[in-house]
Structures are given as C-alpha cells and as structure tokens.
C-alpha cells in the first residue's frame, strides 16, 4: 500500500493527514496555533511553524501506529499547503528579513490600488505583490537584501526540499498568472519592474519569486534536513517525492472536486471564500473579485472575506466559560451542535438582531479594520435561537455581497460544494448558506478532512498518475467515484429571512465604520 502525507498550515491549526492511494484517510495529527497582532501587523512566528510541523507529524505517526499496529516507516509522496497570500522574505543565507505578514492584513491599500490601476487587473491587499510594493514604496530597511519572496506554503516546502517553487494556484496569489502559459503574466511583471525602477533595487521581480509548477509535476524530494525537521526521531527517511505546494484555495478545490469549468466551492472557516471555475478568464476589471487559478491553471473567480467563524467561535467559548464557572464544563462538540441547531428554530430574519463579525478589514465592504459588533433594538426578539442565527448569517453576509457582483456579471454555478468548520455541524451551515446565497449547497462526507487531505490527494496524483491522466479524471475516477454527497436546496423562508436580515446588516455597516473610527486597538 502506498501512503501519502498532506500537511496544511491553516489559520488556527496545523494538520497532517496520511491517506492511501484511493484517498482513504489512514491517520491524522494536529497542532493548534493562532495569529498574533503585533505592531499593527497580523503575523505568525516561524519558530511556531517548526514546532507545529513536528508536533502534528508526531501525533500523526502515533495515531497511525495505534490504528494499524505498525510504525509509519515509508511514505510515497508528500504535499504542503498553507494559507494563501501574504509576505515572507529572506536574504541569500535564508535569514528572515521581516515579520511574516499574513492574508489578514489590510495595510497595503495604496499599493494594491496603484497596482490595480497599472495592471488593469484587480490586486487584493493580501497578495504578495501588494505587500512587496508596500515595503519598497515605504523604504523599509530590508528591501535591498531580498533574495526570496514566497508564501507560507512555499517557505515550508523549501525547508523540506530545498526547492524554491510553488503550485500555479498558489502562485496566482503572489502575482497574476497567464493561464495560457501557466506562469506569471509577463506583461504585468514588466510593469511591476518599471514601477520599482526608481528605487534602484539590486533585483528584478522574477529574481525573487518562486518558480511556478502545475499539479502533477515533481517539485523535489525530502532532504535529510527536511526529514529531521519533520521527524527529529529519525524515523522518517529522506528521498520522498513532493508535489507542488498549494494554498488553501487550491486544496479546497481539490477536496471538493471543484476544478472543472462551471463548478464551484465555498470554504468556510476562519475566513470564507467562494471560487467559481470559469471557461475563460474574466476580462472586466472587478476590484472586489479576485482572479486566481486552479492547481492546473484554469481561471477562477474568487470572492474572499477575511472573517467567517472567528466571532462565532468567540461567543461559543464565552458560553463554555459560563457553563464551566457553574460547575458544568461542556463537551465542546456537543455545545457547538446544540447552539448551531438552535439557529434553525429562530425567526427567519433573526428577530431584528444583527451582527457584524469583522475581526479584520474587508475589501468587499471597504473596511481597513474590523470591530466585532452586535446590535439590537429594544423591541427585537432577543432569544438564543435568534442570536445564533444572526451570528451564522453574519458569517455569510460579506460573501453574499461579493457573490452578487458575480451574479451581475452573469457568472453562474448550479451548486457550490462546501467544506470547512462552518459545515462540521451537519445541516445547519449548509441550510442557512443555501438560503442566503440562493444556491444549492452540497457537502461530501470527506469535506471535513479539509486542505490537508486535498494536498495529500495532489501528492498521490503526482506520484501515481498514469501517462496523460488529467487531475480532473484522477479525481473523478479514483477518488470521488463513489463519494456520498448531501445537497440542500434553498428554502424560501430562509431566503426571505436572509434578505430582510441583509437590509439591517447593510445599515449596521455605518455603525461598524464609527466603531472602527472611535475604538482603537491597543
């Protein structure tokens, strides 16, 4: 039996998953971590990356031995995934030059706007190229020493293999991709070099960016140093082949088998984003819509919101603390299930309650910062059912505003495949999202495995694919042929209730602007 390892560094958890050649999960391990807000920047410390990789692999190896009775000694392929975008730079000796700036940062507004106008292509604030321009334009002390700019997935892949490469889907969050060449767009690279010329830098853009690879290509092998990094015990041997590292967008597409034209998925966890695979790239400039690619280079329209479940999780933790103080500490899974299910019996419009869940800025609604906010009028029907429903609707609301833009451009999708934490409690998130987006939402049994499973599938494809076998055919015929899919269609009451909720939500955004202006983060 061939065993494939997928590692994903997510927003709140680093997860390792081992699967067989048919995609069946064999073991898993994980390590919890959180982003930090330091000196006005959302970041993670790279020492926590090392710790998280080792702890998640250690837990996976122990889980494998417990389940299968033998130690995990041979791995046939490995893949690394992580949160897309951001800014991670190193010098020639691979010393870190600046704090890792994650996707959550909204500090690059001027640079993103300038690049959007220069390229005629929407550049989100979280993209690596926006962060690079921001650092150069700001005259930051490290810019002349940059030898390598990559994402978190690219960084970890380099540490394990010594290869400075990324998958094309991940690359599309660094710099715009030309889907006819599956490489960085040459015209935009040239324009970027022209913008930076006045700063007399010792490098050109392509000098510092990772090489772009497509799904199925070999992306290097586990080095001796990489093996020791993952498994200090020495049990893991060097020489294991790697697939190209991908971001959570690409692994989400793979995990939901949504990589063919006119398919789409929605990932709902710490952030929430929907991706529609297109027949051909959008030509119109839509500043609030991201243009990325699948791991095979197909054009994708993406709607991204920085916050989804963070505020929900904070409230659930508060309820948990209250119950614990009363001497009745709850089972967290059961608490989530109970609270989520209560939302199904609330008033369709949440009884007049409204929540703004912003923990960070949001491009779609033009916020640079966020302040979680809950508002009700004196005559609102303030019940736990309506409160939870308002939190769940809030998690979907900004995505809905972005999806409306795609609808206006006549981008259509018959259904969206969902995965992520919002769908862990069966039915609830799926049903409310179907009504909110007025689109059937499907969830597979495997959706809970997430991006670590998705990148493990890409590793399996890279190693076991037959000659000329496409990723689409590999997934259709070998992974998802017998998949169980549950689809929920929009309910008229949910749809009408969400529409009423959204009227209050849009009005409450003005309160949110005042909160951002008046309440400063220390």
298 part of a folded domain: yes
pLDDT for res 409: 83
Q: How do residues 35-51 score in pLDDT, each as one tens digit?
A: 999 988 999 999 999 99
- Reply yes or no on whether the pLDDT at 19 is more than 80: yes
Mean pLDDT on 255-274? 90
Res. 207: pLDDT tops 70:
yes
Q: 335: helix, coil or strand? A: helix
Domain that holds residue 47: 3-305+447-479
pLDDT at 417: 92
User: What is the C-alpha to C-alpha distance for residues 406 and 411, in angstroms, rounded to an integer?
Assistant: 5
Residue 154 lies in a domain: yes
Report residue 495's pLDDT band, with 50, 70 and 90 as the boundaries.
Answer: very high
- pLDDT bin (cut points 50, 70, 90) of residue 444 is confident
What does each C-alpha distance from 483 to 81, 157, 207, 445, 450 come to in angstroms? Answer: 23, 30, 44, 7, 15
Q: What is the mean pLDDT of the segment spanning 183-208? A: 97
- Let me know if residue 357 belongs to a domain: no
Lowest mean pLDDT among 149-158, 164-173, 204-213, 402-411: 402-411
Q: How far apart are CA 199 and CA 208, in angstroms?
A: 16
Is 275 contained in some domain?
Answer: yes
The predicted structure's pLDDT at residue 23: 93
Task: Supply the mean pLDDT for the chain.
Answer: 94
Residue 285 reports pLDDT greater than 60:
yes
DSSP per position, 502-521? HHHHHHHHHHHHHHHHHS--
Nearest to 340 by CA among 417, 437, 398, 426: 426
Question: How many independent structural domains does the chain possess?
Answer: 1
**Token pair of 388, please?**
């939870």
Work out the average pLDDT over 169-175: 96
pLDDT of res. 163: 97
Query: What is the β-pairing status of strands 416-419 and 441-444?
Result: parallel
Q: Is residue 371 part of a domain?
A: no
Model confidence at 447, pLDDT cuts 50, 70, 90, reads low
Q: Say whether 364 sits in a helix, a strand or coil.
A: coil
In a domain, 392, yes or no: no
Q: How far apart are CA 39 and CA 262, in angstroms?
A: 42
Q: What is the pLDDT of residue 437?
A: 95
What contacts 497, CB < 8 A, 6 or more positions away? 347, 348, 349, 350, 435
Residue 277 Cα distances to 58, 257, 263, 308, angstroms? 37, 11, 6, 22
Mean pLDDT of 368-390: 96
Helices of type H across 259-374: 310-325, 332-342
Tokens 């916020």 appear where?
367
pLDDT confidence of 449, banded at 50, 70, 90?
low
Per-residue pLDDT, averaged over 205-213, amounts to 98
Question: Are 49 and 34 within 8 A, CB to CB?
Answer: no
Domain contains 141? yes
| Strand blocks (E) in 378-490 | 416-419, 441-444, 485-488
Please, is 324 exposed, middle or buried when counting C-beta atoms within 10 Å of its C-beta (0-12, 13-18, 19+)? Answer: exposed
Backbone angles phi, psi at 288, to 5 degrees: -95, 5
Spatial CA neighbour of 389 closest among 435, 419, 337, 344 = 344
| Mean predicted confidence (pLDDT) in 210-234 | 97
* Of 51, 55, 73, 76, residue with least CA distance to 64: 73
Q: Strand 264-268 vs strand 416-419: parallel, antiparallel, or unpaired?
A: parallel
Q: Which residue has the higher pLDDT, 249 or 132?
A: 132
Predicted confidence band of residue 512 (pLDDT cuts 50, 70, 90): very high
What pLDDT shows up at residue 363?
Answer: 87
- The secondary structure of residue 142, as a DSSP letter, is T
Give 466's DSSP letter: P
Q: What is the arithmetic mean of pLDDT over 348-364?
A: 95
Q: What CATH number is attached to the domain comprising 286?
A: 3.30.420.40
Residue 450 has pLDDT above 80, yes or no: no
Q: What is the pLDDT averaged over residues 408-413?
A: 83
Give the residue carrying structure tokens 């082949």: 241
Band (73; pLDDT cuts 50, 70, 90): confident
pLDDT band at 173 (very low <50, low <70, confident <90, very high): very high
What band does 430 get if pLDDT is binned at 50, 70 and 90?
very high
Name the band, by pLDDT with cuts 50, 70 and 90, for residue 522: low
Residue 205 or residue 270, greater confidence = 205
Say what the pLDDT of residue 424 is.
86
Burial of 338 (0-12, 13-18, 19+ CB in 10 A): middle
In a domain, 427, yes or no: no
* First-last CA distance in the chain: 54
Q: What is the dihedral of CA 489, 492, 493, 497, to 10 degrees?
A: 100
pLDDT band at 412 (very low <50, low <70, confident <90, very high): confident
Distances (CA, A) of 148 to 145, 167, 196: 9, 16, 16
């Amino acid at each position: 039996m061939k065993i494939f390892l997928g590692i994903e560094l997510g927003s709140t958890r680093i997860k390792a998953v081992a699967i067989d050649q048919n995609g069946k999960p064999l073991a898993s391990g994980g390590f919890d971590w959180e982003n930090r807000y330091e000196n006005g920047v959302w970041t993670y410390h790279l020492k926590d990356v090392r710790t998280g990789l080792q702890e998640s692999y250690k837990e996976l190896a122990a889980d494998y031995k417990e389940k299968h009775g033998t130690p995990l000694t041979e791995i046939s392929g490995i893949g690394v995934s992580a949160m897309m975008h951001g800014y991670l730079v190193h010098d020639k000796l691979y010393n870190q030059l600046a704090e890792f700036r994650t996707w959550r940062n909204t500090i690059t507004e001027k640079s993103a706007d300038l690049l959007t106008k220069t390229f005629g292509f929407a550049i989100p604030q979280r993209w690596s190229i926006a962060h690079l321009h921001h650092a150069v334009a700001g005259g930051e002390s490290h810019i002349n020493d940059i030898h390598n700019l990559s994402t978190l997935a690219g960084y970890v892949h380099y540490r394990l293999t010594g290869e400075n490469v990324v998958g094309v889907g991940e690359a599309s969050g660094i710099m715009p991709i030309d889907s006819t060449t599956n490489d960085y767009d040459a015209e935009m690279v040239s324009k970027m070099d022209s913008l930076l010329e006045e700063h007399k830098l010792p490098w050109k853009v392509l000098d510092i960016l990772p090489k772009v690879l497509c799904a199925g290509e070999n992306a290097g092998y586990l080095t001796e140093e990489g093996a020791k990094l993952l498994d200090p015990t020495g049990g893991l041997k060097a020489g294991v082949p790697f697939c190209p590292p991908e971001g959570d967008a690409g692994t989400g597409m793979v995990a939901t088998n949504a990589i063919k034209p006119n398919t789409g998925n929605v990932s709902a966890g710490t952030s929430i984003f929907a991706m529609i695979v297109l027949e051909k790239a959008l030509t119109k400039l839509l500043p609030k819509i991201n243009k990325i690619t699948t791991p095979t280079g197909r054009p994708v329209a993406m709607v991204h919101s920085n916050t989804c479940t963070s505020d929900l999780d904070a409230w659930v933790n508060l309820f948990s603390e209250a119950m614990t103080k009363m001497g009745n500490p709850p089972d967290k899974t059961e608490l989530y299930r109970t609270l989520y299910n209560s939302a199904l019996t609330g008033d369709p419009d949440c009884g007049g309650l409204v929540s703004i869940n912003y923990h960070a800025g949001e491009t779609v609604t033009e916020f640079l910062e966020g302040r979680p906010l809950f508002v009700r009028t004196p005559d609102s029907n303030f019940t736990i059912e309506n409160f939870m429903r308002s939190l769940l609707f809030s998690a979907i609301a900004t995505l809905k505003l972005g999806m409306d833009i795609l609808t206006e451009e006549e981008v259509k999708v018959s259904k969206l495949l969902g995965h992520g934490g919002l769908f862990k409690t069966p039915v609830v998130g799926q049903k409310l999202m179907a009504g909110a987006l007025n689109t059937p939402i499907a969830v597979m049994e495997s959706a809970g495995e997430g991006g670590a499973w998705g990148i493990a599938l890409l590793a399996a494809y890279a190693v076991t694919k037959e000659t000329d076998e496409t990723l689409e055919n590999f997934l259709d015929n070998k992974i998802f042929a017998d998949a169980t899919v549950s689809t929920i269609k929009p309910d008229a009451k949910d749809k009408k209730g969400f529409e009423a909720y959204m009227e209050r939500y849009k009005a409450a955004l003005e309160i949110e602007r005042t909160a951002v202006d008046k309440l400063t983060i220390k």
